[in-house]
Amino acid sequence: MIKKFIDKLLGKSSPGTKGGKPHFGKREEVPASVHRIDPALLDRRAAEVVHTLKAAGYEAYVVGGAVRDLLLGLRPKDFDVATNATPEQVKGLFRRAFIIGKRFRIVHVVHGRGREHEVIEVSTFRAYMDNSAAEQVSGNEKTSKHQLAGMQHAVDASGRVLRDNVWGPQDEDATRRDFTINAMYYDPETQVVVDYHKGIQDAQKKVLRMIGDPATRYREDPVRILRAVRFAAKLSALGFELEAKTAAALLPCQPLLADVPQSRMFDEMLKLLQTGHALATIAQLRKLGLARGIYPLLDVVVERADSPFVNAALADTDRRVGEGKPVAPSFLLACVLWDDVHRGWTQRLERREHPFPALQDAIDDVFQQRIGDVSGRGKLAADMREIWVMQPRFEKRMGSTPFSMVAQPRFRAGFDFMRLRADVGEVDEALAEWWQDFQQADDERRADLMDQAREEQKARQRAAQPVVRRVPRSAAPAAGAVPSEGEADGPVPQAGDGVATDAPRKRRRRRRKPSGAGGGTGEGGAPAAD
């Protein structure tokens, strides 16, 4: 009795418990006439993986977000398969298959090669684990047995799941998933959808509902808080909203995110911003009261999302994802943190520091203050640094600089960054257009563009220099003379007046004296021959 009370107090009760026993939902098989999934939206390679597993005598289904998107009439970008076969059994059925992961092992089945390759992720049905079950199961953690062999608990004091690598039946696998619309299984051969938690009904009602008690599920894995925000942002355009209980538990459970490793939080932040719904994600974070306190760098993004430059970067990222183009975290974060770099660089220049070392020092300070120590920071920092360091070099359009710039591997990212700066008025639009033409031009056109840049620079230098109007000495009025009619009454222009001269000054030619007695000059004033 005391143990049950403590478990309930700590939120360790199983999701959907009935009579003290876990409730894993009722299996419903929904035919194609009801769910109306279009088989043409299914990836052929995912169907082949399901067929191979079923032909070998195993259960296999397309699962998760792919089923949700198929129900909504969308073409999924990724396909996952769930089966009752173990990772070793799955690997043995495919020529190019690799077991990955430590906390939970899955299999990547690879189709194709190079950029055209496709990965189908295959996972084994997992059991729902509570503390009592963990005490009786030795587990399937073959790759992590040294860390978990002596562990007798599935959750810690806060309710976070510690042990989640035990195989189980399909109904338990459905229950340990998060949202009802992500817990459905589709058999492409029979075209039947298996649903345990009324996910199809929630999809029709456009409701995002957590399976079981939301607060308990957030305690099991606090990252589900971010997943809730991400799905709400992704599906908001289709009219989906978080169920009231699912949304109400988000803010009280937010402090749990402090226990999540920083490297994982960084990765989850990138998922929020780089899945094609960055602006919608910002709106959801503000709407749900989560605009601050989730992750320091994410706080900066939300704070600056309304500034023209960062807003343009977020919108551009959404556009590229929607068009199926790649996006890099280094580019988006370089846009978000450019204000810090530019401000620090300007302050150093005002102290008369050398421009290039000043820029490098400003970048180092930003990395230290904003990025911190996260997995992959080295490559990320190197790419961001290249983008920033290129910006002042775009002003140099003569000599070998333009050619060396376009030859750099990160030139396109640096140019896109400068292009965004031009779009918001931070850089002259003509400069962006010049580089746009230069990178695509042939040698002859590039020479013309460099001549154009040279003439523009000369014109700027002439405009910046003060010009003096010189008055011929013979025309200068004598002391005390009164100007005649038609002469200007004002003073003679001096240096710095900015008044242009009417004509260039002529050089006076000195007359050469005769070299000797009797010497004279010939015709035209030339010296006579000796």
How many Cα atoms are found within 13 Å in the side-chain-facing hemisphere of 318?
Answer: 15
The whole-angstrom separation of Cα 318 and Cα 277 is 6
Residue 358 near residue 348, CB atoms below 8 Å = yes
Question: Tokens 């937010």 — which residue?
Answer: 254
The whole-angstrom separation of Cα 186 and Cα 29 is 10
Q: Tokens representing 346? A: 């300007």
The conformation of residue 136, written as its DSSP 8-state character, comes to: T
Q: What are the residues facing 107 on neighbouring strands?
A: 99, 122
The whole-angstrom separation of Cα 530 and Cα 391 is 68
Report the candidate in 264, 59, 33 with the shortest Cα–Cα distance to residue 160: 264
Q: Tokens representing 131? A: 């503390």
Which residues participate in catalysis according to the annotation? Answer: 78, 80, 178
Task: Give the type of residue at 42.
Answer: L
The conformation of residue 123, written as its DSSP 8-state character, comes to: E
Q: What are the residues facing 109 on neighbouring strands?
A: 97, 120
Dihedral over Cα of 254, 256, 260, 262: its sign: positive
Residue 218 near residue 250, CB atoms below 8 Å = yes
Q: Tokens representing 216? A: 């308990």
Residue 450 near residue 400, CB atoms below 8 Å = no
The conformation of residue 514, written as its DSSP 8-state character, comes to: P
The conformation of residue 31, written as its DSSP 8-state character, comes to: -
**Phi/psi at 108 (nearest 5 deg)?**
-100, 115
Query: Strand runs (DSSP E) across 281-380, as ranges?
Result: none
Residue 317 near residue 327, CB atoms below 8 Å = yes
Question: Tokens 């049905």 — which residue?
Answer: 125
Residue 335 near residue 311, CB atoms below 8 Å = no
Residue 81 near residue 49, CB atoms below 8 Å = yes
